[in-house]
Structure 1
Amino acid sequence: MVPTALEALGLQLCSYLQAQWGEPVALAGIDQIPGGASRETYRVRLDLRGLGRVVILRRDPKTSLIDTERAHEYRTYEAAFRAGLPVPEPLFLEEDPNWLERPFSVMAEIADCSSRVADLAGDDQAEVRARVGAEKWALLGRLAAMDPHALGVTSFMPVPEHPAARELEYWAGVIDADALHPQPVAAAAIRWLRAHLPPPSDSLALVHGDYRSGNFLFAPDGSIKGVLDWEMAHVGDPLEDLAWSLDPLWPWPDRHLAGGLLPREEAIALWEQASGMQVDREAFRWWQVFASLKGLAIWISSTEDFAHGESKEPILAVAGWVMTDRQNRILVDRLHPDAPARYSERCL
């Protein structure tokens, strides 16, 4: 029987792993994990001389929602794993496209976990939901307190003199390059951000770059077992991650809870306790506006990819339509926090 395209991919991976491990590797099954915006992700079940093992394959797509460097992400996983942070164990990075047509990485599976925060919406899940939230922001605070030099990430990540200015100009450049039509809300936000740049932070940290509900795995008891998707990681201001984690775009299924998990001020207090830092509210407001602009830049970029036929993935079309509208409304509210109208509450 001729294998399907998915099975053929699994068999190719088995050949690669056999070459790396020096022992027979058979394919027991392969499934694609939906939802990946920057990498194709697969769960691959292996048979090693009668012993079962599961690995996660992350392969470069033909086009991506976010333009990222695979080696950068993989080395960040290695640094986080060495530091004892809850991340999947990185096994292999392969940049030779001859194996699977495109570069890829392989990691150990974190079993019996979920990333679906929406499943914790019911009253019967309140205790688990609270624990997930407590661990989420305590873990982020712990990351903020770590010295990026001691983590080893400064060997492959630049250390910015002014993190806020660097991040703003990068994402403003993405909008300028990818916008298919004028973006007046983004333009207003960029003007405001340039006029209100906070001073450089006294404390630099390894910034995850996409720390939000949906990008970590939690066990049935609510303990977080793995933080995923480090492709946008960089050295910067730790307030950047905190602001992103609290953006109103991520509150499902309850918009009154940060990330669908905890009241906002409780999340901030947990972060402060774990990091040993106090949130500078003026600087934090800047990072909140920036977080919404960064999100808008990502959705604008996805629109450009879909419109030009670089990808026909539905996630790019949805991001370019629904998410752009939602993020624009959030930005309007961010820029005018005292206005009586809340545009972000009137969404598609």
Structure 2
Amino acid sequence: MTTITFEHKVARYFSEKLAWKEARVLSAKPLAGGISRETWMVELEYREEESKALSVRRIVLRMDPESSVLESNRTVEYTVLRALESLTGFPVANTICNEDDPSYIGSSFMASDAVSGVSEISDIMNSPYKEAGVEIALNHFRTLGKITTLNYRSHNLHQLLAEPTPHRVALDTLTPWIESLNNKNLGPSPITAGAIRRLKRQLPPPPERIVVCHGDFRHGNCMYQSDGKITAVIDWEMVHLGDPLEDLAWALSPDWQPSAGEGKVAGHITEEEAIAAWESTSGIKVDPKALDWWRLFSWVKSTSLFSAGGYHFIHDKETSVIPAISAWMAIHHSEKAMLTLMGVLK
């Protein structure tokens, strides 16, 4: 019995479903990154028209896994990416297709064109990227601010994503992370419980508008070029509607800053410069006290994510030890940060 390879299934899909003539996969490899979907880089050769020469196209497949630390909706992610393509000057990969039928390649998936650039901190802190480090850092926050300008209603995203009211957005955003902590409990966590009580007691003022939030905007989820430009924002699996300061607080977290640039945001600029860059494209003036609320929220959110990873390792037969190590090390780190923000530690 002949075994049909993954590469053959992918080639057959693009040939039969999208009419990419003579499609043939030259290479396919899994990529790291993303917490709810398997990601593959595929190099595919095909002929656009009978009279044209063969072309080679690099595409990224985002595939639904059997189980995941984080539940997310692929169709929502794909629809948001399509909407962002209309946002002038916003760096987003060109979308190709969104396939619900798992029979084609063994899983439901979405596909987009691959983009050039690097994403990891270890890359951008070394040549040839470090020479453009200041511009990369500023563009990082300008790009984040740009997301807030997307008119999500004109793209009917409010029909796919829960739309909170400005007066309830903070509590509505916090509640699912509390529920996740309760449902995927790794044991008593009095520091996190104390932080949650603080957040509930001292809710921030409502934002001037509800916006699309990436949910995990940081190094690792942007593609950078050596000239300082960003070619794409990737991994939109946590996208939702919320307070614009949520993404900003997450992006400013010390967890995402390279140690080589200690004391600097994105390794090269001050926090004041980062916030100013974000304000310049978002058109929103940052309320420092509200931002502090979202900073504390970010540590509760990261603790909830790491707890879910540890729970997934224990109960779902996860073979990678990374979620377990992250749960053990990162939760302690997050709780220390909570105590600092609450004024308990200096």
Residue 39 (structure 2) aligns with: 41
Larger mean Cα displacement after TM superposition, 208-217 or 156-165: 156-165
Distance in 1 between residues matched to 2:15 and 2:126, nearest whole Å: 45
Residue 301 (structure 1) aligns with: 308
1:189 positional shift: 0.9
- Root mean square deviation of aligned Cα: 2.0
Report if the CA contact (8 A) 2:222-2:232 is conserved.
yes
How far does the alpha carbon of each residue in 1:102-155 deviate from its partner, in whole angstroms, 9 at most, with x for none? 2111111113x1102222335975431111111110111122233322344223
Which residue of 173, 176, 180 corresponds with 1:170? 176
Cα distance change of structure 1 residues 180 and 99 upon mapping to structure 2, 3 Å threshold: same
Query: What count of residue pairs does the alignment treat as equivalent?
Result: 335
Residue 118 (structure 2) aligns with: 114
Report if the CA contact (8 A) 1:248-1:255 is conserved.
no
Cα distance change of structure 1 residues 314 and 90 upon mapping to structure 2, 3 Å threshold: farther
Give 2:10's aligned amino acid: L
Give the secondary structure class of the aligned counterpart of 1:21.
coil
1:74 positional shift: 1.1
Larger mean Cα displacement after TM superposition, 219-228 or 197-206: 197-206
Distance in 2 between residues matched to 1:318 and 1:14, nearest whole Å: 38
Give 2:229's aligned amino acid: S
The unaligned stretches of length 5 or more in structure 2 are: 48-53
Report if the CA contact (8 A) 1:80-1:151 is conserved.
no
Residue 322 (structure 1) aligns with: 329
Q: Are 2:293 and 1:286 equivalent residues in the alignment?
A: yes
Give 1:204's aligned amino acid: I
Percent identity, aligned pairs only? 29
Distance in 2 between residues matched to 1:322 and 1:69, nearest whole Å: 29
Q: What pairs with 1:118-129 in structure 2 (closer than 5 Å)?
A: 118-122=122-126, 125-129=129-133
Report if the CA contact (8 A) 2:181-2:304 is conserved.
yes
Give the secondary structure class of the aligned counterpart of 1:25.
strand
Cα distance change of structure 1 residues 15 and 314 upon mapping to structure 2, 3 Å threshold: farther
How far does the alpha carbon of each residue in 1:235-261 deviate from its partner, in whole angstroms, 9 at most, with x for none? 111000100101121112334222434
Distance in 1 between residues matched to 2:267 and 2:149, nearest whole Å: 25
Give 1:158's aligned amino acid: A
Report if the CA contact (8 A) 2:129-2:225 is conserved.
no
Residue 262 (structure 1) aligns with: 269
Distance in 2 between residues matched to 1:17 and 1:123, nearest whole Å: 38
Distance in 2 between residues matched to 1:125 and 1:54, nearest whole Å: 23
Give 2:209's aligned amino acid: S
1:97 positional shift: 1.6
Q: What pairs with 1:1-348 in structure 2 (closer than 5 Å)?
A: 8-22=5-19, 23-49=21-47, 50-84=54-88, 85-111=90-116, 113-122=117-126, 125-161=129-165, 162-253=168-259, 254-336=261-343, 339-340=345-346
1:82 positional shift: 2.4
Give 1:214's aligned amino acid: G
Distance in 2 between residues matched to 1:334 and 1:8, nearest whole Å: 52
Report if the CA contact (8 A) 2:223-2:233 is conserved.
yes
Which consecutive segments of 4 or more residues in structure 1 shift more than 4 A? Answer: 122-126
Report if the CA contact (8 A) 1:295-1:327 is conserved.
yes
Larger mean Cα displacement after TM superposition, 302-311 or 248-257: 248-257
**Normalising by the residue count of structure 2, what TM-score does the alignment of the two structures yield?**
0.91
The unaligned stretches of length 5 or more in structure 1 are: 341-348
Cα distance change of structure 1 residues 218 and 138 upon mapping to structure 2, 3 Å threshold: same
1:278 positional shift: 1.2
1:297 positional shift: 0.5
Larger mean Cα displacement after TM superposition, 309-318 or 97-106: 309-318
Distance in 1 between residues matched to 2:70 and 2:236, nearest whole Å: 12
Report if the CA contact (8 A) 1:249-1:327 is conserved.
no
Distance in 2 between residues matched to 1:259 and 1:176, nearest whole Å: 33
Report if the CA contact (8 A) 2:203-2:293 is conserved.
yes
How far does the alpha carbon of each residue in 1:204-243 deviate from its partner, in whole angstroms, 9 at most, with x for none? 1111111111100011212001000111111111000100
Distance in 2 between residues matched to 1:251 and 1:63, nearest whole Å: 30
Cα distance change of structure 1 residues 152 and 131 upon mapping to structure 2, 3 Å threshold: farther
Report if the CA contact (8 A) 1:248-1:330 is conserved.
no
Cα distance change of structure 1 residues 75 and 146 upon mapping to structure 2, 3 Å threshold: closer
Distance in 1 between residues matched to 2:43 and 2:231, nearest whole Å: 20
Give 2:34's aligned amino acid: G
**Normalising by the residue count of structure 1, what TM-score does the alignment of the two structures yield?**
0.90
1:35 positional shift: 3.1
